[in-house]
Structure 1
Amino acid sequence: MTCTIVVGGQWGDEGKGKIISYLCDKDNPSIVARGGVGPNAGHTVEVNGEKYGIRMVPTGFPNRSSKLAIGAGVLVDPEVLLKEIEMLDKFNIKDRLIVDKHCGIIEEKHKEMDKSNNHLSKEIGSTGTGCGPANVDRAMRTLKLAKDIEVLKPFLGDVSNTLNDALDNGENVLIEGTQGTLLSLYYGSYPYVTSKDTTASSFAADVGIGPTKVDEVVVVFKSYPTRVGEGPFPTEMSFDESEKLGLVEYGTVTGRRRRVGFFDYELARRVCRLNGATQIAITCLDKYDKECYGITDYDNLTEKGKAFIKEIEEKVGVPVTIISTGPELHQTIDLR
């Protein structure tokens, strides 16, 4: 039995989708459960050369033998969820998805409030998906829950019971967190944060398991961290500099250009302590050093690539066990 939580180590956009998909393929968990805020986080998953941008369905969907669960702590936009179920029809999502009956529901009014609130949309850089206003209503005890929504009834269940039963039966469970630790309402660069905590502890609570059930916490860092929207970014480089390095990216949800910076070892150490990290996954090593592209054996990495990995381990104090060297699942070094 292994319960693993995957957490973003920066401001989101770390490439968690690739890492989660790889772990689902390699470790074959019986359940992949999603924690986090809601549809304000987008993950890009590439399967056989085809890219899928998703915001609600757990990114472990390519493994057809895994159940997919959305925990009670996650806000659900029924419109977004149903569109994704339809888009991913060939992966048989309808028969595998469990939406916790206690998930909060985002309504049109929440999205309108999000977009019309100048403080959120302009100053903070909200995604406009309605998550913040919906979480306000949840705190005020006026929010609709998934059990109140007719179109969601075929998918409703008790995610906490399902996960705990699986763990009691000795099955592997993977919990995927959304956003990044530095967007946490409590530990991020407030007020330029999301509307709840985004660390491993909260993701466990989102899906209804206790801390003693967690075995591994994998924190994902991108070799060049990125950030969408406003807020501090200590190691940020100029757009001109990022263009020279070929680092031009756009957010999955908003389409806004991502700000790019250099790896911040001090922040990475803090993030690993906040999450109780047992392992680090590094993505986009091929962007740090193009000669590392597609390499699957650590010994074949360039000296530059190896030195970067070694420096992370020494300065952050957590072993790097998974290294992504390209977008495809097989372009991965697994040192576990």
Structure 2
Amino acid sequence: MLDILVGGFYGDEGKGKVASYLGLKGGYTLAVRTGSINAGHTVNYQGRTWKIRVIPSAFVNPNVKLALGPGLLTSIEQLEKELEETNSKSRILIDPHVGIITKAEVLEEQRDEFLMKIIGSTGQGVGTAESKRVLRKLRLAKDFRELESVIGDVPETIIETIREGNSVIAEGTQGTYLSLFHGEYPFVTSRNTTAGGVLSEVGVGPKYVRDVIVVFKSFVSRVGEGYLEGELPREKAEEMGLVEKGTVTGRPRRVAPFNISLAKRAVRLNSATQVAITKLDAIFKQDKHVRDYSKLSAGSRNWIENIENELKVPVTLIGTGEDSLDMIDLRKEKLGE
């Protein structure tokens, strides 16, 4: 069956960490990526760090096959760079309908003062490329001879993988509240970033879905413009050790305390069946690298249980450090898996 992984806030929730952990421990045969090069996932595993934008984070398991869904956008340069860094060219499949961003789209977007100065675009050419796709002017992967050897039908591959009795994970991008349809328009991205959008981008219907895993961080962060409820002054964020920088832009992330109202709505918008919470150690520093729930501090356990009671969805994965395996896995206890 198909599991979907999405962000519950404004991106930067730690989806890369969760996806890499599930790639190692989730029993998946195939991992599919959606989104584009304007958002990055960070993976830390066995002393190495990767900052990737288009390759599925499950690449850390060499036995997992990888695919880019038809709704994805990438530049050939970024794709080749990541294939090299992750040593995954021998197991990648790229749908012929993947959109290709060229320097023309990047330059056009960077000249748009509204996007760059008012919205806070990352300037990667993604919005411009999406616009061209809608106008049927964008070039696709099938139009580039250098990609011929890795082109294939990704929706059909997903369906056949499932029919053979195997599991697939679809990795979403950014977060629920950057969705073109559900975020604070116009301070949003150029696609639907909810579970429904992920399904559309990978090209299969809802009957194949087993679980929707929504990822929240222990606090809220946001890059770029737009309202952020409860935003902390930078001095306070630094004092609390919550200062971060965006994976793609390097810009400081604005931060705020965990927002239960946003989390509840994200659970509903995505039809969440599981919740993952990352960076527990950012607010409960004594619990860094803990991998056994019973060894968490009482404060951490109470905090997790209160969130679970509010959301009415099981918290099955809890991140406590940078490494992919710094994870408390409660799927067996909560779901019987």
Is TM (by shorter chain) over 0.5?
A: yes
1:217 maps to 212
The 3-state SS of whatever aligns with 2:57 is coil
The 3-state SS of whatever aligns with 2:58 is coil
Alignment counterpart, residue 231 of structure 2, candidates 188, 212, 236:
236
2:172 maps to 177
TM-score (norm 2): 0.97
CA distance in 2, matches of 1:45, 1:311: 28
Give 1:208 shift. Answer: 1.1
TM-superposition CA deviations, 1:256-280 (whole Å, max 9, x none): 0011110000010000100000000
Alignment counterpart, residue 59 of structure 2, candidates 55, 58, 61:
61
TM-score (norm 1): 0.97
TM-superposition CA deviations, 1:201-241 (whole Å, max 9, x none): 11011111110100000000000111000001112111011
1:227 maps to 222
CA distance in 1, matches of 2:90, 2:84: 12
CA contact (8 A) 1:31 1:66 kept: yes
List gaps (5 residues or longer) in structure 2.
Answer: 332-337
Which residue identity lines up with residue 50 of structure 1 in the other structure? R
Give 1:88 shift. Answer: 2.1
Which residue identity lines up with residue 87 of structure 1 in the other structure? E
CA distance in 2, matches of 1:35, 1:53: 16
CA distance in 2, matches of 1:83, 1:333: 32
Which residue identity lines up with residue 278 of structure 2 in the other structure? T
CA distance in 2, matches of 1:260, 1:319: 25
Which residue identity lines up with residue 81 of structure 1 in the other structure? L
2:181 maps to 186
The 3-state SS of whatever aligns with 1:179 is coil
Which residue identity lines up with residue 138 of structure 2 in the other structure? L
2:86 maps to 88
1:335 maps to 330
CA contact (8 A) 1:71 1:103 kept: yes
2:335 maps to none
1:51 maps to 49
Instruction: Output aligned runs, 1:287-298, within 5 Å.
Output: 287-298=282-293
2:21 maps to 22
CA distance in 1, matches of 2:205, 2:16: 24
CA contact (8 A) 1:236 1:261 kept: yes
Give 1:58 shift. Answer: 1.1
CA distance in 2, matches of 1:187, 1:122: 22
CA distance in 1, matches of 2:275, 2:26: 17
Which residue identity lines up with residue 52 of structure 2 in the other structure? I
Alignment counterpart, residue 74 of structure 1, candidates 68, 72, 75:
72
Number of residue equivalences: 331
CA distance in 1, matches of 2:213, 2:136: 34
The 3-state SS of whatever aligns with 2:118 is helix
Give 1:330 shift. Answer: 2.5
Which residue identity lines up with residue 112 of structure 1 in the other structure? L
CA distance in 1, matches of 2:290, 2:191: 37
1:98 maps to 93
Which residue identity lines up with residue 172 of structure 1 in the other structure? S
Give 1:28 shift. Answer: 2.7
The 3-state SS of whatever aligns with 2:60 is coil
CA contact (8 A) 2:66 2:91 kept: yes
Structure 1 position 32 matched with structure 2 position 23: no
CA contact (8 A) 1:28 1:63 kept: no
CA contact (8 A) 1:266 1:316 kept: no
CA distance in 2, matches of 1:295, 1:245: 20
CA distance in 2, matches of 1:218, 1:88: 25
CA distance in 1, matches of 2:96, 2:74: 11
Give 1:297 shift. Answer: 1.3
CA contact (8 A) 1:40 1:129 kept: yes
Give 1:144 shift. Answer: 0.6
Give 1:329 shift. Answer: 2.4
TM-superposition CA deviations, 1:95-129 (whole Å, max 9, x none): 10011001111111110111110000110010111
Which residue identity lines up with residue 181 of structure 2 in the other structure? Y
CA contact (8 A) 2:43 2:323 kept: no
Structure 1 position 155 matched with structure 2 position 154: no
Percent sequence identity over matched residues? 46
CA distance in 1, matches of 2:324, 2:135: 43
Give 1:315 shift. Answer: 1.6
Q: CA RMSD in A?
A: 0.9
1:324 maps to 319
The 3-state SS of whatever aligns with 1:61 is helix
2:7 maps to 8
